[in-house]
Chains A and B, each alone.
Chain A
Amino acid sequence: MDFRLNEEQQMLQDTVARLVRGEYSFEKRLEYSESELGFSADFWKQLGELGLTAVPFPEELGGFGGTGVEVQSVMTELGRGLCIEPYLQSVVLGGGLISQAGNSEQHEQWLGGIASGETQAAVGLQEPQSFYDLNDVEARAEKSGDGYVLNGRKAVVIGGHCADVLVVSARTSGDSRDADGISLFLISADAEGLDHRTYPTIDGSKGSDLFLNNVKLGPDALLGEEGKAAEVIEYQAGRAISALCGEAVGAMEVACDLTLEYLKQRKQFGVPIGKFQVLQHRMVDMMSELEQARSMAILAASVADEPQSDERRRILAAAKNVIGRSGQFISEQGVQSHGGIGMTWEYNFAHYAKRLVMINHQLGDDDFHLERFAALLQ
C-alpha cells in the first residue's frame, strides 16, 4: 500500500502550486473577484496553456488521461490559493458530462475547447425547489419537430453568467422526482430565450440562475440518451465531489497553517495565546479534522473514476459528509481562535473560512450525504 503521489502526479501538483503562488496573491484574488468576469481570464488562460484544464481528458485531446488523483492534485492547489476560476464546473463537471454522455460529434465540437480552456462550460443541475436532489427536476423539455423546447429554471449555476456552453438537466418525461425521464441538453450562451440573473457569491466568485423561456434546441443539443441522464449526472457529481474534496483539503491546510501561525505570534496576558491549553487542544482538533478530511479525499479519489457501484456511492457520500463537517469546524474554530481579526475582510483567513462553509453547500451538505450514506448502510 502506498499513499504517496507518484513522480508525475507530484510534478503536476508542483506545477499548479508554482502557478498559484506566482499569480494568486490575496490582493490579486480580491481584484479578480470584483471584476466583471468574476475571475482571472489570464490565469484561466495559463491553466489552459500548461495543459491543466486538460488533465482529466484523453491524450488525443492534449490531456493526461488523468483520474481522480490527478484532478485532486490540481484542485488541492487551487483550494490553497482560494482560486475562483470555474475549473470544477467547466473541466470536471461540464467536460465530464459531455465525455460520458456525448456522441462523437459532440465530443468533437466541445471537448477540445474545454480541455484547452478556450471554451468554458457551466452546469445547471439544481432548481429552486430541488434542495440538493439532482433528480428533483421540474424544468421541461418538450419535443418540437426533431428538436426540443425548454422551459424552467436552474438554480445557482456557478460560472453560468460567462459560460460559452451550458449543460442543463430537463425532464422529457416522468414526474418531478423520478430518476427516469431526465435528459441533458447543451445550450449555447447566446440561445434565444435564455436569461440570467447574475450575482456574486459569498465566497468571492460569480454565478447565475438560468431562466429558460421557450428555448428552442435542435436534435444535436440532446446529450446522451433521452430520459436516461440521471445515472450520468450521479456519476459525474461523484467525480466532482472527489474534486471538491481536493479543493477543501487545500483550503483547510492553509486555514490551519494561518491559525497555527497566529497562535504563536499573537500575545495576550504576556504570552502567545497558543500557550492557553483550550486553544492548543482546539488546534489539535482542527488538525485531526484535517487528517480525517485528507483520508476521505484520498479514498474518494480512488473511486472517482471507477465504474459506479454502491461502494463508490457510499465512499463519495461519506467523503462529502466528512469534508462538510471538517470544513465548517475548521472555519468556525479558526475564526474563534483568532478573535476579532479572524472576521475581517482584509485578512485572508476570513475568506478561507467562507469558502470552507460554502463548499458544504455545493453538491449536497453533510446532512444530505449522511442520509445517502444511511440509505446504503450494509
Chain B
Amino acid sequence: MNLNYTAEELAFRDEVRAFLDEKLPADIAAKVKGFRRLSKEDHQRWQKILNEQGWYATHWPEEYGGVNWSPVQKHIWDEESSRYGAPRSVPFGVNMVAPVIIKFGTEEQKQRYLPRILTGEDWWCQGYSEPGAGSDLASLKTRAVRDGDHYIVNGQKTWTTLGQHANMIFCLVRTNTEVKAQEGISFLLMDMDTPGITVRPIITLDGEHEVNEVFFEDVKVPVENLVGEEDKGWTYAKYLLTYERTGLAGIGISKAALQHLKELATRRTKNGRPLIEDASFSQRIAKVEIDLMAASISNLRIIASVEGGGMPGAESSMLKVRGTEIRQTINDLARRAIGPYAIPFVEEEMDLDYDGDFLSDENAAPVTPQYFNNRKLSIFGGSNEIQKNIVSKMILGL
C-alpha cells in the first residue's frame, strides 16, 4: 500500500499548478471562488485557454485532440483546478456527447462535431428528461418518425441546463412504440436553430435562469444526425450516464467550498470572537471536513481501481450520494455562518463588477441562493434514491 503520488504524478501536478498560476484569469477565478455568476463568455474564454494548452478534452483519445490522461492525472487536474478557482467545464459537449460520438458515431460525425466542441463553436445541451420521464427516463415520449431521409420530431424535453446558451442538443427520442420501452429509443443530434424548436426558461427557487423547457413541433432532423443504430439509444445513454456519475461526487468542488466556508467563518463574529473559534460551530465544520476526507479517499480508491482502464461500477453511486450530501452540508453551514444576513437577497452583489459596499461580507450574497440551488445535487444525474436503488440491486443483490 502506498498512498503517495509517484514522481511522475508529482511532476504532473507541478505542471498543472504552473499552468494555472500563469493562465487562469484572475477575474474568472474570483467569480468561481466567490460562487458568483459565470457568463457564457467567461466559460468560453477559459475553454479557449484550455484548448490552446491541449487540456480541454481530458478523456478523449489523442487522435481527436484529447490528452488521454490517466484517472490519477484527471484527479490531480480536478483537485488543482477546483482549488485555484478554475470553472468546471460545462460537461454536455466535451464530457457527455463527445464520448458517445467517439464510441458509437460515424466517421463523418466525429470529423464534424469533435473539432467544434474543442474550439467552443458548438455549445451542447442534454435533452433526456421530460415532464413525465424523470427518474423513469425510459418512459420518454418525444417521438421521432422516419420520413425519407429525415426524422420528424414532436414532443418536449425539460430541465435542460443552459439550453439558452446552446446551439446543439442531443436527445433521446422514441423511434419505436411496439417494443419494450428501453428498446425503442434512439440518440439524435439536433441543431437548436431548426424550425419547430422553442426554448422557454424555467426559473429556479433561487431566482436563477439555469434550466429550460425545450419544445419540438414537427422538427425535421436529417437521418445522418442519428448516432449509432436506430432503437439502440438506451445503450448509448447508459454508457454516457456512467461518465456523468463519476464526476458528480464533486470532491474537488467540496474542498474549495470548505475553504470558502472557513474564510467566511473567520470573518463573521459571534460573542465578539471569530465564529470559527466558537466550539460548536468549529465542530460542525470539523465533522464535515472529516467526512470529506473519507470520501476523497474513497474517490481515490475508485480512481486507482480503474487506473488500468475500464469504468467504475456501482461504487460510484455510493460516492455520488456521499459527495452530494457533503456539499449540501457545507452549503448549509455557510448559510448558518452568516446568521441574520442569510435573509437579504442582494442580487447586485452577486456580480463581480459590483463596486459598492457589501451589505455584510464580500462573499455573503451568493450563500443562501447557492444553498437552495444545490438542493439539485441530490436530484439530478440520477436522484440519490435512484443511486441507492442501483447499489442495492447491483452490489447487494436485493
Interface residues of A (CB under 8 A from B): 126, 128-129, 131-133, 136, 155-156, 158, 176-177, 197, 199-203, 207, 209, 267-270, 276, 278-279, 332, 335-336, 339-340, 342-346, 350-351, 353-354, 357-358, 361-362, 365, 367, 370-371
Contact = CB atoms under 8 A, between A and B. Distances in A.
A339 B131 CA distance: 11
B359 A197 contact: yes
Interface in B157-192: 158-159
A345 B207 contact: yes
10 contacts: A129-B272, A133-B271, A155-B360, A158-B343, A340-B379, A342-B375, A357-B371, A362-B340, A367-B336, A371-B280
Contacts of A270: 136, 139
Contacts of A350: 204-205
Contacts of B379: 335-336, 339-340, 343
B114 interface: no
Interface of A is mostly: mixed
B113 interface: no
B340 A361 contact: yes
B375 A332 contact: yes
A209 B359 contact: yes
A197 B360 CA distance: 12
Interface in B124-175: 129, 132, 134-136, 139, 158-159
A177 B271 contact: yes
B345 interface: yes
Nearest to B375: A335
Contacts of A332: 375
Given A176-B272, A340-B134, A343-B204, A202 B339 contact: no
B296 interface: no
B361 to A, nearest CB: 9
A129 B270 CA distance: 7
Interface in B243-272: 268-272
A358 B136 contact: no
A267 B139 CA distance: 11
Contacts of A269: 135-136, 139
Contacts of B270: 131, 133
A175 to B, nearest CB: 9
Contact of A276 (B204, B335, B343, B385): B385
Given A136-B272, A199-B359, A365-B336, A268 B343 contact: no
Given A133-B271, A345-B205, A336 B375 contact: yes
A201 B345 contact: yes
A353 B344 contact: no
A115 B132 CA distance: 50
Contact of B341 (A155, A340, A342, A357): A155
4 nearest A-B residue pairs (beta carbon): A350-B205, A345-B203, A268-B136, A156-B340
Interface in B85-141: 129, 132, 134-136, 139
B55 interface: no
A344 B360 contact: no
Q: Which of A129, A343, A350 has its CB near the most chain B CB atoms (within 10 A)?
A: A343
Contact of B134 (A335, A339, A346): A339
B202 interface: yes
Contacts of A353: 205, 372
Given A155-B340, A344-B202, A344-B204, 17 more contacts: A126-B340, A128-B341, A131-B270, A132-B340, A133-B270, A201-B344, A268-B134, A268-B139, A270-B136, A335-B375, A340-B376, A344-B205, A345-B203, A353-B205, A354-B205, A365-B339, A367-B336
Contact of B344 (A133, A202, A354): A202
B275 interface: yes
B269 A339 contact: no
B368 interface: yes
Contact of A128 (B136, B272, B280, B360): B360
Nearest to B137: A268
B205 A343 contact: yes
Contact of A354 (B339, B359, B372): B372
A270 B335 CA distance: 39
A343 B375 contact: yes
Contacts of B384: 336
Contacts of B136: 268-270
B345 A199 contact: yes
Contacts of A207: 343-344
A310 to B, nearest CB: 21
Contacts of B339: 131-132, 361, 365
Contacts of B284: 367
A130 to B, nearest CB: 8
Contacts of B129: 340
A62 B149 CA distance: 79
A203 B134 CA distance: 28
A358 B341 CA distance: 10
Which of A128, A136, A202, A344 counts the most chain B CB atoms within 10 A?
A: A202
Nearest to B365: A199
Contacts of A335: 375, 379
B180 to A, nearest CB: 13
B299 interface: no
Interface string B374-398: 0110111001110010000000000
B135 A129 contact: no
The interface centre, meaning the residue of B136, B345, B380, B388 with most chain A CB atoms within 10 A of its CB, is: B345
Nearest to B376: A343
B205 A156 contact: no
B10 interface: no
Interface in B338-368: 339-346, 359-360, 368
B369 A278 contact: no
B205 A200 contact: no
A185 to B, nearest CB: 20
A197 B202 CA distance: 30
Nearest to A204: B345
A126 B376 CA distance: 32
Contacts of B375: 332, 335-336, 342-343
B281 interface: yes
B275 A344 contact: no
Contacts of B388: 278
Given A202-B368, A268-B134, A339-B383, A362 B343 contact: yes
A207 B340 CA distance: 12
Given A131-B270, A278-B385, A202 B342 contact: yes
A332 B372 CA distance: 9
B177 to A, nearest CB: 16
Contacts of B132: 267
